[in-house]
Amino acid sequence: MKILLINTNYGGGAGIACRRLHKALLANRYDSNLLILEKVKSPEEKNVHSIEEIISEKRGFWYFALLKFSNRLLNKLPTIFNKKAYINGPSSLFRIDKFAIYNESDIIHLHWVPKIISYKHVFADKKKIFFWTLHDMNPFTGGNHYTSDLDYSPFKNLLQKNCNKKKIYLKDANLTAVSPSKWLNGEAKQSEVFKNFEIRTVPNCLDTEVFKPLNKIQTREKLNINFPNKIFILFVAEDPNDSRKGMSILIKALNQIKNKEQFCLLIVGKKIDISNINIQVVQLGFIRKEVDLTDCYNAADFFVTPSIEDNLPNTILESLSCGTPVLAFNTGGIPDMVEHKINGYLADAVSPKNLVEGINWLFQNHNSVELPLNARNKVVTHFNCSEIVKQHVRLYESKFHSNE
């Protein structure tokens, strides 16, 4: 049984989750390959292929570059006068359905694939077995990835047109949707596009031997942040200014806490203006290596992710696996991971006030023995790679054998 995982990017949240599954499949001796858009010089995993390499080998690099540019323009044209609108429809100039690696695979497992799959051509083969892990809403909407990041009403006609196309192209497809969270599963079941398809819930996996508890003092010394008598709060986002990630809410909350001198905010990701934050801030910049990220999680007393809308963030799993409690809003797929006052704090309403309450509670309980143990146990028990691979393989085999 040959498995092909497909994701547009090598990096990013979805790319990381997809690569972790690919690596876990290989570790368990399954025949897995990964297809991404652009070539990676030194991929960390084996069997990584790119659309760039496949097309460049046949037609030359400049043909690929022109095709990629034209494809981006095709996707952006409907919203070209609105820079904030992020809509990816069902069309693509790339024809991955013609690639040998695609046609030789028994299982096609799509992940985050905007811009690289043409629904019309990919789903034309009604016998091909497809799985589709939902990393956001894009697969079953008219092209928007979430609903909270923008008012999409001006694009109502475009979104409906795309939905109609998707329903036509997906009709009778041998497709099973896989949602990492219960929340997104429910959203997909209520959608026009996926309501008639089987939808399973299988979470992302994490290597708990990489993300593991370490000595806090040593990790703080390693990061040069061993300030005495400080409570360290960690925030991780590729772009903290992304409105959906809730940094503006966090800043308002931090400016409302009374004992400001006792806290230090650690930020991993793109550097931002911190002049409006009234507590000590250390910006650690982009950190790519998992072992270095592990140090950051272990250096923190707790991790905060004030996302307004999110699926099953890798960062929460990583933090919990390191034994670091999590503060978050009770939104999206976050309750699948964070249990209120057991391994973290779930704030009910999205507001600075509720975030302040969570900060105060975690401050009062930062010496708890149970919180870190519960955090670690949650991931080891429910999100370890071995168990998640078994769940995926059971799904693959059920469809593979029924298709024989």
Residue 258 lies in a domain: yes
Is 266 found in the same domain as 199?
no
Residue 164 lies in a domain: yes
In tens, the pLDDT along 178-209 reads 999 999 999 999 999 999 999 999 999 999 99
pLDDT bucket at 157, cuts 50 / 70 / 90: very high
Is 226 found in the same domain as 185?
no
At residue 151, the pLDDT reads: 87
Is 169 found in the same domain as 253?
no
Helices (H), 78-207: 100-103, 119-122, 156-170, 182-189
Residue 103 pLDDT > 70, yes or no? Answer: yes
Is 153 found in the same domain as 25?
yes
Is 377 found in the same domain as 390?
no
Looking at residues 304-318, what average pLDDT do you find?
94
Residue 21 lies in a domain: yes
Q: Which of 349, 344, 340, 144 is nearest to 246 (CA)?
A: 349
Q: Provide the CATH number for the domain around residue 220.
A: 3.40.50.2000
Rounded distance between C-alpha atoms, residue 18 and residue 25, angstroms: 11
In tens, the pLDDT along 30-40 reads 999 999 999 99
Non-local (6+) Cβ contacts of 350 within 8 A are 246, 249, 306, 308, 329, 331
Supply 382's token pair.
């429910």
Rounded distance between C-alpha atoms, residue 129 and residue 400, angstroms: 7
pLDDT bucket at 404, cuts 50 / 70 / 90: low
Q: What is the DSSP-derived secondary structure letter of residue 144?
A: B
Residue 240 lies in a domain: yes
At residue 104, the pLDDT reads: 96
The count of domains in the chain is: 2
Is 393 found in the same domain as 378?
no
Residue 339 pLDDT > 70, yes or no? Answer: yes
Handedness of CA 137, 142, 146, 147 (dihedral sign): negative
Global pTM reads 0.94
Look over the chain and give the mean of its residue pLDDT values, rounded to a whole number.
Answer: 94
Is 395 found in the same domain as 369?
no
Looking at residues 371-383, what average pLDDT do you find?
97
In tens, the pLDDT along 359-372 reads 999 999 999 999 99
pLDDT bucket at 149, cuts 50 / 70 / 90: confident
Helices (H), 60-155: 61-76, 100-103, 119-122
Q: Which of 17, 193, 28 is nearest to 110 (CA)?
A: 17
Is 277 found in the same domain as 306?
yes
Residue 262 lies in a domain: yes
Is 245 found in the same domain as 179?
no
Rounded distance between C-alpha atoms, residue 51 and residue 99, angstroms: 9
Is 319 found in the same domain as 182?
no
Helices (H), 225-313: 247-254, 290-299
* Least reliable range by pLDDT among 240-244, 289-293, 326-330, 367-371: 240-244
Is 398 found in the same domain as 322?
no
Rounded distance between C-alpha atoms, residue 14 and residue 149, angstroms: 18
Residue 211 lies in a domain: no
Q: What is the DSSP-derived secondary structure letter of residue 141?
A: S
Please give the radius of gyration of the chain, using alpha carbons only, rounded to the nearest integer.
Answer: 22
pLDDT bucket at 74, cuts 50 / 70 / 90: confident
Q: Which domain holds residue 329?
A: 216-382
At residue 242, the pLDDT reads: 85
Percent of the chain with pLDDT over 70: 100
Is 356 found in the same domain as 267?
yes
DSSP assignments along 255-278, one per residue: TT-S-GGGEEEEEESS----TT--
Residue 210 lies in a domain: no
